Amino acid sequence: MRSRQRMFAAVMRLLLKCLRLGRRRRFRLVRQVEQLWHYGHLCLHSLLYNSFTNGDVVLDSLFEPVYWLVDHVTRWFGVVFVALVIGLTSSVVAIVYICLLPLILQTYTPAWICWHLAYGHWNLIMIVFHYYMAITTSPGHPPQAKNDLIGVSICRKCIAPKPARTHHCSICNRCVLKMDHHCPWLNNCVGHYNHRYFFSFCLFMTMGCIYCSISGWDMFRDAYAAIERMKLLEKERLQVAANQTYYQTPPPTFSFRQRAFHKSVVYLWVLCSSVALALGALTLWHAALITRGETSIERHINRKERQRLQKKGKVFRNPYSYGSWDNWKVFLGVDVPRHWLTRVLLPSPHLPHGTGLSWDLPPCVMEQRVPLLAI
């Protein structure tokens, strides 16, 4: 009996030792896995560590393939957009010369004929000149020699000093001086040297479309009514022809030339009215930005900076704003009163103030009215 008890106790002790040994091995294995996990996490963190990393950087990294696709599509479709602008503008001009101008010369008084000829051709010249200059003029880029370049920050794409108001264009893959945005309708960036051409093109194109819409309103109503009459008579003609023989079918009521004329007038008015609304809103937006002395990119930057300083009880002032009137004079390059005629109302290839690398007080501004930062 005692021998059985001793044997049972020995078996139980052996079983407990095995359990303890298995538990130790299991704990040791778990500890090794944890050590490997922490070691791998430390290696990965050391390879990817960046003190500037935040949520925005992570999102930019995740959306980088989408940005790459959009940039390349915009780059290649820029040529298509430019051809579309030229084609639509040429079609409107052709309709005006072929269809409307003979009608104007036959029905309008000499005073109105002179007005339409003078204003129409002046507006057309301004549109063509500023669009050509906007697509062919470089917006300006920082120089390659970085020794004498005053940089406010470092471009993380170019890894080079970036002057004030300069931003990197992912489509052009270069830094642009005083960058406003990349315009696919120009297939070019809007920057320091072609910003005035871009805005002037938008302004004169809007004026031209409004002029065509207002001047052609009566013609549009007559042409639209004529087209509706064509559809009605065509329907009646087909109903009559269905009950008659082939030789008794009546001839068409309207000729091909009349159909083309009425449809061209409707096309011109609808296109000009649509462009006037869309481009007019864009022109007003950029006019407000010019009045405040900032670009499209700077608007977002200044708004965030204004909110940040407001929380600290400070007031942000735009360092590149000289007042509404002086901002327009600086933007248009008006130094003396006669420049309003020679540089604004007439085609002028004059350069903007400054080089885009530094922003000194322009000569047309008598005094700097606003401090850089009011605290």
Give 173-237 as a DSSP string. Answer: TEEETT--EEETTTTEEE-TTTHHHHHHHHHHHHHHHHHHHHHTHHHHHHHHHHHHHHHHHHHHH
Q: Catalytic: which of 99, 172, 175, 183? A: 183
pLDDT of 66 over the 80 cut: no
67 band by pLDDT with thresholds 50, 70 and 90: low
**Cβ contacts of 241 within 8 Å, gap of 6 or more:** 249, 250
Most confident range (mean pLDDT) of 11-15, 246-250, 350-354 is 350-354
Alpha carbons 153 and 327: distance in angstroms, whole number: 25
Check: CB of residue 368 under 8 Å from CB of residue 177: no
Residue 289 has what pLDDT? 96
- Please return the burial class of 10, using the count of CB atoms within 10 Å of its CB with bins 0-12, 13-18 and 19+: exposed
Rounded Cα distance, 157 and 170, in Å: 9
Pairing of strands 188-190, 315-316: unpaired
A 10 A CB-CB count for 309 gives 16
**pLDDT tens across 169-203, in order?**
888 888 999 999 999 999 999 999 999 999 999 99
- Asked if residue 162 has pLDDT above 90, the reply is no
More confident site: 141 or 16:
141
Say if residues 102 and 257 touch (Cβ distance below 8 Å): no
pLDDT reported for residue 373:
42
Q: 272 and 92 in contact (C-beta within 8 Å)?
A: yes
How many Å apart are CA 275 and CA 204, to the nearest integer? Answer: 12
The pLDDT of residue 43 is above 80: no
Catalytic annotation present for 364: no
- C-alpha–C-alpha distance, residues 189 and 345, integer Å: 24
Q: Which of 90-94, 227-231, 247-251 has the lowest mean pLDDT?
A: 247-251
CA 208 to CA 91: how far, in whole Å? 14
Mean pLDDT is lowest, of 75-84, 136-145, 152-161, 364-373, for 364-373
Nearest-10 Cα torsion for 335, 338, 344, 348: -80
pLDDT for residue 113: 93
pLDDT of residue 139 exceeding 90, the answer is: yes
Q: What's the whole-model pTM score?
A: 0.77
Across the chain, what does the average pLDDT equal?
83
At residue 144, the pLDDT reads 72
Q: Tokens 């050391």, residue?
A: 46
90 pLDDT higher than 90? yes
Please, are residues 298 and 327 in contact by the beta-carbon 8 Å criterion? no
Question: Residue 160: what pLDDT?
Answer: 81
Nearest-angstrom CA–CA distance, 360 and 334 = 16
**pLDDT given for residue 299 in this prediction:** 92
**Residue owning tokens 């499209």:** 296
> Would you give the distance in Å from CA 343 to the centre of its chain?
26
Phi, psi angles (nearest 5°) of residue 149: -85, 125
